[in-house]
Amino acid sequence: MNMSHEFAGAFHELTLLAEDFVRGPYRQQRESVPEQAAQQSPEPFVAAHTAVVGDRSEARRLLEQEILACSLCPLSGGRTQAVPGVGVLDPLVMVIGEGPGAEEDRLGAPFVGPAGRYLDDWLRAIELSREANVYITNVVKCRPPGNRDPEPAEIQACRPYLERQIELVRPRVILAAGRVAAQFLTSSELGIGKLRGREHRCYGLPMVATYHPSGVLRNPDWRRPVWEDLKLLRSILDR
């Protein structure tokens, strides 16, 4: 490798370090730089890197617009607005809950209100945050009436949106919050008490299931198992 190649590699590494510094305390996992790209001059390489992330940001924006206009299932009839999701691309963790509640439906963001603030506490305890290195969404994007569980047909109608989000966002690990998300993501009918506490594979990614924050607020006995699940999640990220 000649001097210009070395400079290209060093410049690229510097941009990634700066990006990681802004986004959070941990280095982001990335695919290795193709040798051909690394051998180009720094300016075209950086431009190409920015274009790829830019393309995915645009694709995510278009997907969110599609979700906001969706009427594929009856849940569209009772919503104030659909709630696509929030967070960063290439997150360390993608949190997946079951569906928007009343506050989420009103504000258009997932996990807001007391359960959302509690989830933020959980994330902070393992050095994560929705602003820096997490993406948060739900299995269904529209509020089920009376906060009932989403019906299987509603989950199936909404499933392609979640799958496209996972593909676009590219998390390292998935955290399923609550029974509905855990059962859907593991294709299992086991209760959350049996699905939590171990690592699963989901869409080719490591996945941990735990109780839903709103359930833990009602049942303090679940705090300890949640902490065990969060430690498991952190250990997967750190390995």
> Any contact of residue 140 with ligand SF4 (CB under 6 A)?
yes
Position among 8, 63, 70, 88 found at the interface with ligand SF4 (CB under 6 A): 70
Residues 154, 131: Cα–Cα separation, whole Å: 29
> Any contact of residue 109 with ligand SF4 (CB under 6 A)?
no
In the sheet that holds 199-202, the strands lie side by side as 86-87, 134-138, 93-97, 173-177, 205-210, 199-202
**Amino acid identity for residue 153 in this structure:** A
Quick check: 79 and 143 in contact, CB under 8 A?
yes
CB of 112 to ligand SF4, least distance (A): 18
Q: What dihedral angle (degrees, nearest 10) is formed by the CA atoms of 123, 125, 127, 131?
A: 30
Looking at the Cβ atoms of 70 and 92, the one nearer to ligand SF4 is: 70
Query: Which among 201, 200, 199, 196 has a CA at the least distance from the CA of 225?
Result: 196
Let me know how many helices (H) and strands (E) the chain has, helices first.
Answer: 10, 6
Position among 8, 63, 67, 175 found at the interface with ligand SF4 (CB under 6 A): 67
Position among 82, 93, 109, 134 found at the interface with ligand SF4 (CB under 6 A): 82
DSSP tag of 201: E
Interacting span for ligand SF4 (CB under 6 A) from 63-71, 126-134, 165-173, 205-213:
63-71
Q: Residue 124, SS3?
A: helix
> Any contact of residue 72 with ligand SF4 (CB under 6 A)?
yes
Position among 15, 39, 76, 81 found at the interface with ligand SF4 (CB under 6 A): 76
> Any contact of residue 158 with ligand SF4 (CB under 6 A)?
yes
Looking at the Cβ atoms of 76 and 186, the one nearer to ligand SF4 is: 76
Binding site for ligand SF4 (CB under 6 A): 67, 70-73, 75-76, 82, 140-142, 154, 157-158
